[in-house]
Structure 1
Amino acid sequence: MDQRTLLITLTGPDRPGVTSRLFSVLSAFPVTVADIEQVVIRGRLTLGVLVAYAGGPSSGTGTTLGAMWTAVERVAEDLGMEVELSTGSQAKEHRRRGRLSVSVLGATLQPAAIAGIAGRIAAAGANIDRIERLAQWPVTCIELSVSGADPGSLRVELAAEAAIQEVDVAVQRTGLSRRAKRLIVMDVDSTLIQGEVIELLAAHAGCLEEVAGVTEQAMRGELDFAESLRRRVALLEGLPAEVFEEVRKEVVLTPGARTLVRTLKRLDFRFAIVSGGFTQITDGLVEELGIDYSAANVLEVIDGRLTGQVVGDIVDRPGKARALERFAKEAGLPISQTVAIGDGANDLDMIAAAGLGVAFNAKPVVRQAADTAVNTPYLDSILYLLGISRDEVEAADAEDGVTSTVTSPWGRGA
């Protein structure tokens, strides 16, 4: 006997009891529930129900469908809603393998952007099964569930379209592999915080321009990081140790940093920072934000003044990747369950090693190497890549009595 499916779609004003009424009617007929999807946009409900039933010449299908259709139409009329019905074989309705999540982020989303993204998905022979909004401020983010596409080739196509439309697009496999990422490892300078700590120190030493030039070369990958660090630190020789307190007051968190850390900690994620900067600054961030693990360089101080030297091993590009591996081991997690976030060439190895590598307002070389790039100025946009919605964040904040007012020595960034 042939197994067939029937798609029932109700649309109209949202009100209590719609779902209950529809399924009470369906319970009187020999059908099983194969799938359900529902969305409400500005008070208007769309409810889709896919039911399966036995087909074939001797099944009495026509009589059953006719009676069910009449009953469903009566419910729709009572509720002031519209109803559509479409049939098909179960084989044709079955979703294709290769489920992907496509996140689209932008300060604003124009129709042309959605058209471009959807067009590229269709051109790849894939299908959009579902669309959901995850956030509407401070950025808009929608998530598309896509089936039937190769993730590598689709990522390339959508990255090209994202550049044209000036939006961010992330392509990830859905399912447990996405939800299982439990350790976030983040760069500090120009990622967790705005600007570069060594430049703040250099401003106090009167050598900002020279240090900034070397920093830019290192970030572009044009200069070995360890050598660039030694050159810059040497210029700080003689600064009094009291400068660290002054610099801590000047550090400003990236907008959304507090929300990102707070939300992930609620969800029992582990959070780590790894920095080419200095423990004299990062240790305060660890305490302030409740960060689990950290690694950074140590500036040598003798007799209350900086010597212009770094103590111990330098946390450079391979050092950051080793730190990620060490943190994962301490947390009892495989590397596949890690997310690495950075902006410069010094972050490339850890971004490549992590289960998900994110380039945050990054240099071109990093954007090209990362799994996805986020170019909005809000660090908590990364939550949406993990499938966490703005509504969920705000609901959790409300329960905990958290507000956006920040009175921290680290500045704003809630």
Structure 2
Amino acid sequence: MRELILIQVYGPDRPGLTANLCAAMASYDIAILDIGQSVIHESLSLGMLISIPPTAESAPVIKELLFTAHKLGVDIRFTPVDENDYSAWVEAEGKPRHIVTLLGRQVTAKQVAAISQLLAEHNLNIDVITRLTGRPPLGGAESRRLACVEFSVRGQPHDINGLRGAFLRLSGDLQVDIAFQEDSVFRRNRRLVAFDMDSTLIQTEVIDELAVEAGVGDQVKAITESAMRGEIDFKQSLRRRLRLLKGLDESRLQVVADRLPMTEGAERLIVNLKRFGYKIAIISGGFTYFGELLKKRLGIDYLYANRLAIEDGVVTGEVVGEIVDATRKAEFLKEIAMKENISLQQVIAVGDGANDLPMLNLAGLGIAFHAKPVVKKGARQSISTLGLDSILYLVGVRERDIVE
């Protein structure tokens, strides 16, 4: 009769340890049904589920492994596994899988406890926990350093929207970012990232900066904030703000461009995305004048934005052509995906305003970045505590694969 045994090995890691253990079983025609290994601070934890055929017996196998483990200086434990239990475990393999990503400046026991408890409450079981960022130094650690842990979980949450809402509240309470995604083939095969520009790739709203140059900063800023909260139709708000800019000298555009601050992590993110073969787009309700500068600086592949109307060297208070609003943003995203011959599930979209929501929810991975509450609530994912480069970890990139 076939025997199933779970073998667990613990002890100091060293080269050849797994090879020696498997060599001890090799002459018994043993099948390895499952195997997993992790090393933390040079301490090994190895598990193997083996099947001993009817032609062999477990006693000599166990004896051989005990002798080998003693020579290697590791502890070993054996647990018989019932065939019915094994079959039930195999059937569970087909259950839906999700990835939970914890992002912060450091990972704490309190954070992991809260996330684990929430997953258990929603009928999800953690299979694997992986650290994506490098080992943090002790003493004098950089305050801007990122820390990321990824949980691979199995099961179907009974209320997925409720779980997302709970993660959003937990993120605020713990001052971290928590992403919850379906673990599908598309997650590992994203091809395009589309960014909003103002308050996303750059840390300010360009139209507010132009308004300062025109002496109407407070008036325009109030309209901008109301539009970002979704209180005013974007087209209406843009026309109102542009009218206040009428007569602004064209030379002031370059003055504003020279002082625009890039968002934390933006260049690190895009440099690495380009290395990995991603296409990059800016789809913005801002202005092409500033988008073209970013396109040249960052190697952006696509740019869609509003073109300021300028006559006789001054801003007219109008735009050339149709305004790029929420609907147009979503249309442009579809258009780029078609050009690139990819599924929208392979698209990442990032934005901060209410006019970004249709684009965010159209993409396979839509991220509300340092967004207003209404936008965070409407998007499936959000980042509120870290820079744009944290997006690399949402697609499963490890720190060792990232160039600075």
Q: State the TM-score, normalizing by the size of structure 1.
A: 0.88
Which runs of structure 2 are paired with 1:198-213 in the superposition (5 Å)? 198-213=207-222
Which runs of structure 2 are paired with 1:381-400 in the superposition (5 Å)? 381-393=390-402, 397=403
The correspondence for 1:314, drawn from 308, 315, 323, is 323
Does the 8 Å contact 1:31/1:53 carry over to 2? yes
The correspondence for 1:99, drawn from 89, 97, 100, is 97
The aligned counterpart of 1:74 is: 67
Tell me the distance in 2 between the aligned counterparts of 1:388 and 1:36. Answer: 23
Tell me the distance in 1 between the aligned counterparts of 2:375 and 2:5. Answer: 48
Tell me the distance in 1 between the aligned counterparts of 2:167 and 2:63. Answer: 44
Tell me the distance in 2 between the aligned counterparts of 1:135 and 1:193. Answer: 25
Query: Does the residue aligned with 2:246 lie in a helix, a strand or coil?
Result: coil
Tell me the distance in 2 between the aligned counterparts of 1:160 and 1:149. Answer: 21
Q: Which amino acid aligns with 1:216?
A: E
Q: 1:299 to 1:127 in 2, by over 3 A?
A: same
Q: State the 1:281 CA deviation.
A: 0.3
Query: Does the residue aligned with 2:338 lie in a helix, a strand or coil?
Result: helix
Does the 8 Å contact 1:103/1:170 carry over to 2? yes
The aligned counterpart of 1:372 is: 381
Does the 8 Å contact 1:5/1:93 carry over to 2? no
Query: Does the residue aligned with 1:176 lie in a helix, a strand or coil?
Result: coil
Tell me the distance in 1 between the aligned counterparts of 2:4 and 2:252. Answer: 71
Tell me the distance in 1 between the aligned counterparts of 2:67 and 2:323. Answer: 73
Q: State the 1:139 CA deviation.
A: 2.0
The aligned counterpart of 1:126 is: 124
Tell me the distance in 1 between the aligned counterparts of 2:327 and 2:207. Answer: 20
The aligned counterpart of 1:407 is: none
1:63-104, Cα deviation, whole Å (9 max, x unpaired):
x32222222222322222222222323214424411111111
Q: 1:335 to 1:31 in 2, by over 3 A?
A: same
Query: Does the residue aligned with 2:223 lie in a helix, a strand or coil?
Result: helix
Q: Which runs of 5+ in 2 are unaligned?
A: 137-144
The aligned counterpart of 1:139 is: 146
The aligned counterpart of 2:21 is: 22
Does the 8 Å contact 1:117/1:162 carry over to 2? no
Q: Which amino acid aligns with 2:189?
A: A
Q: 1:266 to 1:320 in 2, by over 3 A?
A: same
Tell me the distance in 2 between the aligned counterparts of 1:155 and 1:73. Answer: 47
Q: Which runs of 5+ in 1 are unaligned?
A: 398-402, 404-414
Tell me the distance in 2 between the aligned counterparts of 1:190 and 1:270. Answer: 21
Q: State the 1:249 CA deviation.
A: 1.3
Q: 1:5 to 1:174 in 2, by over 3 A?
A: farther
Tell whether 2:261 aligns with 1:243.
Answer: no
Tell me the distance in 2 between the aligned counterparts of 1:278 and 1:320. Answer: 14
Does the 8 Å contact 2:229/2:375 carry over to 1? no
The aligned counterpart of 1:412 is: none
Q: How many residues align?
A: 388
Tell me the distance in 2 between the aligned counterparts of 1:293 and 1:211. Answer: 28
Moved over 4 A (4+): none
Query: Does the residue aligned with 2:113 lie in a helix, a strand or coil?
Result: helix
Tell me the distance in 2 between the aligned counterparts of 1:7 and 1:202. Answer: 69
Tell me the distance in 2 between the aligned counterparts of 1:177 and 1:391. Answer: 22
1:226-254, Cα deviation, whole Å (9 max, x unpaired):
11111111222222222222222111111
Q: 1:380 to 1:5 in 2, by over 3 A?
A: farther
Query: Does the residue aligned with 2:245 lie in a helix, a strand or coil?
Result: coil
Does the 8 Å contact 2:52/2:58 carry over to 1? no
The range that moved more, 283-292 or 151-160, is 151-160
Query: Does the residue aligned with 1:192 lie in a helix, a strand or coil?
Result: coil
Query: Does the residue aligned with 1:341 lie in a helix, a strand or coil?
Result: strand
Tell me the distance in 1 between the aligned counterparts of 2:346 and 2:295. Answer: 22
Q: State the TM-score, normalizing by the size of structure 2.
A: 0.91
The range that moved more, 167-176 or 378-387, is 167-176
Tell me the distance in 1 between the aligned counterparts of 2:51 and 2:97. Answer: 22
Q: State the 1:154 CA deviation.
A: 4.0
Tell me the distance in 1 between the aligned counterparts of 2:322 and 2:354. Answer: 19
Tell me the distance in 1 between the aligned counterparts of 2:305 and 2:199. Answer: 15
The aligned counterpart of 2:291 is: 282
Q: State the 1:17 CA deviation.
A: 1.5
Tell me the distance in 1 between the aligned counterparts of 2:335 and 2:256. Answer: 29
Tell me the distance in 2 between the aligned counterparts of 1:390 and 1:117. Answer: 22
Q: Quick one: percent identity of the two aligned structures?
A: 39
The aligned counterpart of 1:267 is: 276
1:139-177, Cα deviation, whole Å (9 max, x unpaired):
211111111233825434434443433322212121312
Tell whether 2:72 aligns with 1:87.
Answer: no
Tell me the distance in 1 between the aligned counterparts of 2:360 and 2:396. Answer: 20
Q: State the 1:204 CA deviation.
A: 1.3
Q: State the 1:300 CA deviation.
A: 0.8
The aligned counterpart of 2:58 is: 65
Q: 1:222 to 1:175 in 2, by over 3 A?
A: closer
